[in-house]
Structure 1
Amino acid sequence: MNTKLSRPVAAAMLALAALVPAAAQTRAALPPIEDFFGNPEFSAAQLSPSGRYLAAKLANKNGRERLAVVDLASNSVKSVANFSDADVGNFNWISDERLLFDTTDKQLGQGDLRYGPGLYAVNRDGEGFRQLANRSNHFVQTLSAARMLPWHTFMLRQRGAQDSEFAYVSSAKFSGPNEVDYVDLLRLNTKTGHHSTVNRPGDTRGWLLDERGEPRLVTTVEKDQLSIQYRDPETKAWRKLATFNAYTGGKGAFSPLAMGADGTLYVTTHAYKDKAAVHTLDLATGRISEKPLIELEGYDFRGSLIMGNGRLLGVRYTTDGEGTLWFDEGMKAVQAEIDARLSGTINLVSLPARPETPYLLVESYSDVQPRVFMLYDRDKKTLNKVGDSRPQIKPDQMGKQDLVRYDARDGLKIPAWLTLPRGGGGKLPLVVLVHGGPYLRGGHWGWDAEAQFLASRGYAVLEPEFRGSTGFGQAHYRAGWKQWGLKMQDDIADGAKWAIAQGIADPNRVCIAGASYGGYATLMGLVNDPGLYKCGVNWVGVTDIKLMYTGHWTFQSDLPEGWKQYGMPTLVGDLEQDAAQLKATSPLEQAARITQPLLLAYGGADKRVPLYHGTKFRDAVKATNKNVEWVQYDEEGHGWALPRNRVDFWSRVERFLDRNIGPAAAPRADAPANAGQP
C-alpha cells in the first residue's frame, strides 16, 4: 500500500484587501492579553481502554490542575487526584480501573523547582492511591521516600498493554547534572510498588514497546554512534539491527516508529528519497523495504500509526497541518461524518484500546480556534463538548493563518507561516517571528498564542521555516548546516522582503523577534540588515556561538557533552576550523553595529542559554546603543513557565512594538520609502 497524502485542511486564502482595517480597532475592543497567555482550563483527556470512562485534566479555581474521571454511563464525575502544592502532569490509563500519572508545578519557575515529577497511581473511583516515585531530588530522604523509586523515574509516552496493574516506566541514570548515561526500563506493579529491571544491551537512550505493550526495541549510543537493537520475544536476547551516526544520520539511517501485533516493524527513513517516508524493516535481514507504506507530498513523515484489534487502522500525520488517513472503512466513515459536522477545523479522533462502547474522543481546532474536546457517539451520531482549552478566545477576533512559500536569493523555496490581523489589510506593520532550535520544525497550521496575540494588535506575522528547519526534506535541512548568521539569516530577511514586495508589509515598519536560536537570529538580523529591521525582540537568545561550547564559570549549560563534541562541529561550526566564521557571526562580537531599538529578556535559571549570554551582550550593546530595554525573570528558565511572566513579557513586547512600528511610531526621517525592497 503506497499512499501519498496531501494537506489535510485547505485553509482559507488570505485576502490582502481589508474589509475592516485592523488599525481601526479600538484598544478597548482588543482581547485581553491574559486570554492568550494564561494556562488552559482543560488541557488533556483520554478514554479508558473500554471507552466506558473518560479521564481529564481540569483547572481548579486556584489554578491548580486536577485529574478527574467521568463515568460515561451515569455521567458522574469523580476527582481522583488533586494536590495543593502541584499540578497533575502527564497521565495514562494502565487498565480500565487504574491510572498512572506524574506532577508538575505551573506556579513555579524553573529556578524554584527542587524535585522531579514523581509518579503516582490511583483507581478510577479515587481509591487505591499510591505514590510510586519520589518528587524530591535531595540526597537526604525520609524512610518513606527511600522505599519509593527515585526522583529520576518517568512515565513512558507509550500507552502499553493497558490490561493490568503493571506498567513500564523509565529510570534515567546521570553521570552529572545534565549528562544521561543510560535509561533503564522498569516493569512496575502500581499497587505494590514492586518492580523489576529489563535487561538492557548497552547504554540505552530510548525504548519501544510493541503492540502488546512489551519491550522490543532500544536505541543505544556509544560516542557518536547510535545503534538500534531488537529483543527476541521468545529468548529475550538482544541483537543489533543497524548502526549509524547519532547526529548526522547517513546511509541506512532510520527511526523506529511502531511494531505491529504481527511483528512488523515500521520505520521512518530518508533511505530512498529526500523526504522521509514510512517503510517496513525486515527483522531477519535488517533491510528496509524499497516501497514506502506512506509518504507525504512535499513533507517528511511526522506522525504515528493507529493500531487496534491487532491491525493497522490508520495513520496520524502532519503536512501543513495535522490529519488522519483511515484504512479501516468504519473509521473512514466516522471521520467523514465528524468533518461534515465540524467544517473548517482539524478533527482528531481517538479510539479506546478495546472498545466496549460507541464513544470516541474528538479534539477539534483551527487557526482561529484553540482545542476543544468532544465525545462522539457512533450509535446516536451525536457530538457533545466535554472541555474547552481556552473558552475566552473568540474565533471572530483571531487572524487567519496560511502556509506560504517564497524564493530565497539562491533559489531555495522557503515555507513560512503568515498570520494576518482580522480583516487583513495591506502595508501592515510586520513582525518576523523566528523559531528556535534551529534544527526542528517551527510550527504547523493551528491556533498559536504568540502569533495570534500579535495579529490581534494589528501586526502581520511571518514565521519562516528557513533552511536547517526539519520536516521539509533532507536537502532543506542539510542546507542549513554551518549557516548560522549566513544563508539561514538570508532566508529570514528574504521572507521580510517578500512580504514587502507582496504589499503585505510596510517597508518602514518591520521588526524581527524570536527566542533561543530565534533570539540569536534577531540580533544577527539587526547586524546584517539594518535597513530592513527597525527594531528587535530577543528573549533567551544565544549571543555568542563560542559560549555554547566553552560555557562560563558563573553557570553550567545543560547542552549534552556528546552534542557539543560530535553534533555541533558539523551542524553549527568547528571551534578551530571555523573560528573566523564563528567570530563574524557572533552577535557579541558585532554588538557595536546594532543601533536599532532592542528589547532583551532572559531567565535567571536558564540552563540551555545561561544568563551570562544576555548580560555579556547587554553590557556590550549598551556601550553604543542607548535604546535597549532589559528584563530579567530570576525564577525562569529557557522560556516563561509562569502565566504572570508571560503576561508581563508580552505586555512589554506590545508597548515596545507600539513605540517602534505600531500606531505610536513616528515616521523616521532617515528611512527611505523603499527600505527593505529586494
Structure 2
Amino acid sequence: MNSISKKVYALTLSMAMSIALIQPAVQAAEAVKPTATVAETIASKATQTLQQLGYIDGTIESNTPITRAEAAVILQRVLKLDAPASLTGFADVLASDEAAPAIYALKQSGLIQGKAKGYAPDAPLTRAQMASLFTRAFELKDNGIQVVYSDMKQIPAVHVEDAVRIKQHFIIEGSAFNAKQSVTHGEFADALYLALGLDVKSEGLTPLEDFFKQPAQAGFQMSPDGKHLAYLEPWNNRMNIVVKENGQDKSVRVTSESERSIMGFGWATDNKLLYIKDAAGDENYHIYVTDIDGKNNKDLTPYPNTRATLIDPLEGVPDEILVAMNKRDPQIFDVYRININTGEAILAAENPGNITGWLTDHEGKIRVAVSSDGNVSSLMYRESEDKPFEPLLTTKLGETFAPVMFTYDNKNIYAISNLDRDKSAIVEYSPSTKQVTKTIFENKDVDVTSFVPSKTKGTILAAIYETDKVNYEYFDAEFKKLMEDIKAKVPGKEISLSSISEEGQVLFISYSDKSMGTYYFYDSVTGKLDKLADAAPWIDEDKMSDMKPISYESRDGLTIHGYLTLPKGVEASQLPLVVVPHGGPWARDSWGYNPEIQFLASRGYAVLQVNFRGSTGYGKEFLDAGNKQWGKAMQNDITDGVNWLIEEGTVDADRVAIYGASYGGYAALAGLAFTPDVYAAGISYVGPSNIFTLLDSLPPYWESERNMFYERVGDPEKDKELLTAISPLFHIDQMKAPLFVVQGANDPRVKQAESDQIVEALRERGVDVPYMLKTNEGHGFANVENQLDLYRAIEKFLNRHLMK
C-alpha cells in the first residue's frame, strides 16, 4: 500500500514558507455598547417576539419595575413548569395568590431559594436576582469570557458567579453591574429575549452545533496488507482511533483519549498504529503506538517539554521508526531511531545546531539535511550515512528548493523549486552533478505544490497545483483514466486520494464547498465502489452556500484572488459582511467546505476570504510583496476587497466586520486600529497585538527562523519605527468599533500576553472588551465544547453589531 503523501517530511520552514503564527479617549467608554438604534431595535424585537410567543402581556409599561412575582409568572410560562400540588412554603405567598403556582413551580425546580418566612413577591426584582434566575433557568455555564465589573465588590456573594455568567452570555453589557438596581419590564424582556437566544434564532436555520460537531468518522487509512481500515471517531467528545477488518462492519476502538483528541495517526505495521497528540494545546506533540486491538499502548517519546516529529515510518524495518525530537536542546531537532516495541531511542543523527529539516532515502537512510539561519539555507547531502554532509546548493530568502523525496533508485532528488523562476515547479536534481536534470512540471500562473508518486512504477504519476481549485497534471495515462473513472462515479465532487495499492485498490474522499466529504473504497479492477462513511451526514448540502472564486485589483495594481460566499436564497445587495483573513500569513485560503464560513453565511452574512500579498501559492514575487507590509499593503489588499464589494452594491458599508485567527487575528486588530471607519466590529482569535513582544516570544524551535521573521515582518532594532507603527496595541486610541478577543492560555506561538495586553489597555480607557480565555487550549481551540462556546459567542456578538 502506497500512501500518496509519504516521503513529504519535515522541510525547513523558511524553504516551505508555511509558518502559521496558526491565527478613543472621549468615546472609549461607549465603544462596545450598542448604538441607541441597535439597543432600541433589540428592545422592540424582544417585546414583540415575547408577546407573540405568549410569554409576556402586551399591556405592561416597559419602564416600570417588574416584581419578583411577575418575573416568576413569565419564567413559568417560558419553561413550561407544572405547579406543585401543594402551594405552600412562603409565609407571604398564599395558595390563593395569582402568582402562587408560578412561584412554587420555580421553587420546586430549584430556581428560587427564598426563606420560609417570605419571598417578597411584590418587591421589585433586582439585577442580581435576575442574574441568578436566568443562570439557573437556562443553565448558563462558564464559557471562558473574562468578566470584570467596576462594582464587583458591591455584588452580594451569593450572586457574584451568576452576575459573571449573565455577562458571559452577552445578556448584560457595560462595566458596572448595579446589583441592587431594580429591573424594568422592558429590561427583563430584553434579557429574556437574549437568554433564550431569540436574537439569533430563525425558522429553518441549521443549528450552530451541526456546523461544529466532530466528524462522524474521518481520516480513513488502510493497513499495508490491505486487511484493515483505521479511522477516527468521536468517543467521550474526543476523536479516537477505531479499527475494523476491510469489508466488515464490526469495529474496535483502540484508543480512549478523553482529555485531548488525537491529532493524527498512521499505520506502523500491519498490526500496529502510530498516533500523535499534545497536552492542552501546548504543541509538544508526543508519538504513541498501539496494537490494533488496543493493547500495548505506549508513549514512544515520553520526554517533558519535548516536541516529536515523525521523519520516516521505515516501511522496510517493521519494528523501528525515525523521529526528530528537541529533547536535548529545545531549539533544534536531533533524529532518533525508536523501537516501537520497547520504546528504546538511539541517536541516529545529531543536529550541529543549524539543521532545520531531514530527508531519508527509500531504504530509510538519512542522506539529506537542510541547514538554515532563517534567510540563507543550504541543501546538505551525503552518499551514505557513514560519510559527512556536504553542501549542494544555497538559497536566500524568497528562494525555494524543498527536497520532497528521492527518486526510486535513490540517486536523484525530487524537489519543489522556484530557483531561476517565479513560480515553484517540480524538478529532478542530481546530487552528483549538482544540477537540475529536468523540470518535470511548472504552471505559469501558480506554484506547483506537490505530486503523486508511484513506488510500483518508480515514477511520478501527476503534479498537483492550485488555482481556484486543486488541479492535476497527468504524466501517466493509466493513472489519468483511474482518476477520470473515480470522478465519474462521484459527479459534481472533487476528490482527494488517500492511498492506492499495487492491486489497484483506492481509498479516497469526495468533497465540495457544501460537503465535508464522503469516504470511499474503490476497486479499479472490478469497478466496485463502496461508500465507507459521510464525515458529516447531518449537513444538508441544499442549505449550504456556494463558495465562489473572485479576483479584484488592489490600489497599486496587483491582482488579488480570494473567495466570496453569499447567504443562500438572499438577494446579493446591501448585505452585512464578515471579512475572514487567513492565518499564517504565509499560507492561503482554498476552495472547499469550511464549517466556519458556511455557518456565517447561514446567518445571513456575506463572507470574504482574501489571499492578500504575502500569501503562498502565487509565486515568489507575490510572496515577497508582503515583506514588511503587515498592517500596510497586506491590510490594504483586504480593505480594497471590502471597498470593491461596497462599490458593487453587494455589501452595506455600515455593516462590515473583520474576524480572523492567528495572523488573521492580527489583521482584525489592524483593521480596527488603522481603518476604523471601515469596520463596525472585530474579532481577534489568538491574534498578536504587539509585534515586539510577538517576536520576543517565538517558540524556541523557531529560533532558526528568527532572521526570516526580521526580514518578512521587521527587525525590532533596525525597524523599530515600523513595528511601532504596525502594532495595534500602540494605536488603540484610534479604535472605535466593538472588539471581541479570544485566546488559548497555552498558545506557544501567540502567547496569552498578546491578548492580555490589548484587553488591559482598552479596559484602562474604559472600553468593555469581551475576552474569552480557555485555560486548556493553545493556538486555536481543539476541544469541541470550547469551539461551541466560541461560536455561540461569535454568533451573538456579530448579530448585535451587524444586524439591523
Match of 2:286 among 117, 138, 147: 117
Partners of 2:700 and 2:462 in 1: how far apart? 38
Query: Shift in Å at residue 433 of structure 1?
Result: 0.8
The 3 A distance-change label for structure 1 pair 582 and 332 is: same
Determine if contact 2:657/2:680 at 8 Å carries over to the other structure: yes
Name the structure 2 match of 1:36: 211
Question: 1:202 — aligned with what?
Answer: 352
Taking the aligned partners of 2:768 and 2:652, their CA distance within structure 1 comes to 22
Which whole-Å deviations, capped at 9, do the CAs of 1:58-78 have from their partners, x for residues lacking one?
223x23433233322556534
Q: How does 1:531-546 map to 2 (within 5 A)?
A: 531-546=677-692
Instruction: Please state if 1:231 is matched with 2:404.
Output: no
Aligned partner of 1:281 among 425, 429, 432: 429
Contact 1:314–1:327 (8 Å) recurs in 2:
yes
How far has the Cα of 1:222 moved from its partner? 5.3
Question: How far is 1:437 from its partner?
Answer: 1.8
Match of 2:705 among 560, 563, 582: 563
Pair 1:184-2:353 in alignment:
no
Name the CA distance, whole Å, in 2 between partners of 1:79 and 1:627: 47
Give percent identity, aligned residues only. Answer: 31
CA distance in 2, matches of 1:643, 1:403: 30
Structure 1 residues 367, 300: CA separation in 2 closer, same or farther (over 3 Å shift)?
Answer: same
1:118 positional shift: 3.9
Does the CA-based 8 Å contact 1:559-1:608 persist in structure 2? Answer: no
8 Å CA contact 2:576–2:604 kept in 1: the answer is: yes
Change (3 A) 1:100 1:52: closer
2:234 paired residue number:
59
Match of 2:277 in 1: 104
- The match for 2:440 is 293
- Quickly say closer, same or farther: Cα 1:87–1:513, change in 2 above 3 A: closer
CA distance in 2, matches of 1:618, 1:84: 32
Q: Distance in 2 between matches of 1:120 and 1:428?
A: 51
2:332 aligned counterpart, secondary structure: strand
User: Higher relative CO (CA 8 A, sep ≥ 6), structure 1 or 2?
Assistant: 2
Pairing partner for 1:92 from 266, 269, 285: 266
Distance 2:630 2:546 in 1: 31
Q: Give the distance between the partners of 1:388 and 1:30, measured in 2 at CA.
A: 21
Aligned to 2:695: 549
Give the aligned partner of residue 769 of structure 2.
628
Q: Distance in 1 between matches of 2:603 and 2:664?
A: 21
- Return the alpha-carbon distance in structure 1 between the equivalents of residues 764 and 549 of structure 2: 40
* 1:362 equivalent in structure 2: 508
Question: Cα 1:592–1:535, aligned 2, differ >3 Å: closer, same or farther?
Answer: same
Tell whether 2:310 aligns with 1:155.
yes
C-alpha deviation, 1:167, in angstroms: 2.8
How do residues 274-423 of structure 1 correspond to structure 2 at under 5 angstroms? 274-289=422-437, 292-309=439-456, 310-352=458-500, 355-356=502-503, 358-423=504-569
Among candidates 315, 323, 327, match of residue 173 of structure 1: 327
Match of 1:432 among 579, 594, 597: 579
Cα separation, partners in 2 of 1:313 and 1:656, compared to 1, 3 Å: same
* Matching of residues 609-624 of structure 1 within 5 Å: 609-624=750-765
Provide TM-score, normalisation by structure 1.
Answer: 0.82
Give per-residue Cα distances to partners, 1:616-670, cap 9 Å, x unaligned.
21232235564632222233222112212211111111111111112xx3xxxxx
Cross-structure match for 2:73: none
Instruction: Kindly report which structure 2 residues correspond to 1:246-261, keeping only aligned pairs within 5 A, or say none.
Output: 248-250=397-399, 253-261=400-408
**How far does the alpha carbon of each residue in 1:192-232 deviate from its partner, in whole angstroms, 9 at most, with x for none?**
44454324573433222234444332223457543222231
**SS of aligned partner of 1:293:** strand
Q: Which residue of 1 aligns with 2:245?
A: 71
Q: How many Å apart are 1:387 and its aligned residue?
A: 2.2
- Partners in 1 of 2:332 and 2:441 — Cα distance? 35
Residue identity in the other structure for 2:359: L
The alignment partner of 1:451 has SS state of helix
**The one of 417, 441, 452 aligned to 1:269:** 417
Of 592, 596, 608, which aligns to 2:737? 596
Q: Take 1:351 and 1:570, find their aligned partners in 2: how far apart are those partners? A: 39
C-alpha distance in structure 2 between counterparts of 1:331 and 1:302, whole Å = 19
Distance change >3 Å, CA 398–CA 596, structure 1 → 2? same
* TM-score calculated relative to the size of structure 2: 0.70
Give 2:785's match in structure 1, choosing from 634, 638, 644: 644
2: CA distance, partners of 1:211 / 1:423? 53
CA distance in 1, matches of 2:699, 2:526: 55
CA distance in 1, matches of 2:324, 2:783: 28
Structure 1's unaligned 5+ residue stretches are 1-24, 139-150, 666-678
- Please say if residues 265 and 276 of structure 2, whose CA atoms lie closer than 8 Å, have aligned partners that are also in contact: no
Larger radius of gyration: 2
Give the stretch that moved more between structures: 446-455 or 305-314: 305-314
**Given the alignment of the two structures, is residue 485 of structure 1 paired with residue 631 of structure 2, yes or no?**
yes
What does residue 173 of structure 2 align with?
Answer: none
Q: Quick check: 471-480 or 539-548, which moved more?
A: 539-548
Q: How far apart in 1 are the matches of 2:203 and 2:528?
A: 39
Picking from 129, 133, 136, the partner of 2:300 is 133
**CA separation of 1:475 and 1:619: change in aligned 2, threshold 3 A:** same
Distance 1:174 1:397, change over 3 A: farther
Q: Indicate how the Cα distance of structure 1 residues 212 and 296 shifts in structure 2: closer, same or farther if over 3 A, else same.
A: farther
Q: Deviation at 1:448?
A: 0.8
Change (3 A) 1:624 1:440: same
Inter-partner Cα distance in structure 1 for 2:616 and 2:689? 23
- 8 Å Cα contact 1:50-1:352 kept in structure 2: no
User: What's the offset of the Cα at 1:272?
Assistant: 2.4
Distance 1:506 1:643 in 2: 33
The structural deviation recorded for 1:499 is 1.2
Give 5+ residue unaligned stretches, structure 2.
Answer: 1-199
Distance 2:300 2:215 in 1: 27
Distance across 1 between alignment mates of 2:688 and 2:449: 28
> Structure 1's 28 and 109: CA in aligned 2 closer, same or farther, altered over 3 A?
farther
The answer as to 2:693 corresponding to 1:523 is no
CA distance in 1, matches of 2:747, 2:498: 36
- Structure 1 residue 602, shift from structure 2 partner: 2.1
Name the structure with the higher strand share. Answer: 1
1:134 Cα deviation from its structure 2 partner: 4.7
Cα gap change, 1:269 to 1:28, in 2 (>3 Å): same
Provide closer, same or farther for how the CA distance between residues 580 and 233 of structure 1 changes in structure 2, counting only shifts above 3 A.
closer
Q: Tell me the number of residue pairs that the alignment of Structure 1 and Structure 2 aligns.
A: 601
C-alpha distance in structure 2 between counterparts of 1:75 and 1:383, whole Å = 16
- More off after superposition, 366-375 vs 584-593: 584-593
| Bigger helix share | 2
Whether the 8 Å contact between 1:109 and 1:642 is mirrored in structure 2 is no
Q: Contact conserved, 1:49 with 1:352, CA < 8 A, in 2?
A: no
Deviations along 1:61-96, whole A, 9 cap, x unmatched?
x2343323332255653444444666444322233x
Task: State the SS of the aligned residue for 1:497.
Answer: helix
CA separation of 1:207 and 1:70: change in aligned 2, threshold 3 A: same
Q: Is the 8 A contact 1:406 1:415 kept in 2?
A: yes
Shift of 1:411: 0.5
Residue 455 of structure 1: how far off its partner (Å): 0.7
CA distance in 2, matches of 1:136, 1:375: 38
Task: Specify whether residues 528 and 372 from structure 1 end up closer, same or farther in structure 2 by C-alpha distance, changes over 3 A only.
Answer: same
1:152 deviates by: 4.6
Distance in 2 (CA, whole Å) between partners of 1:631 and 1:89 is: 24
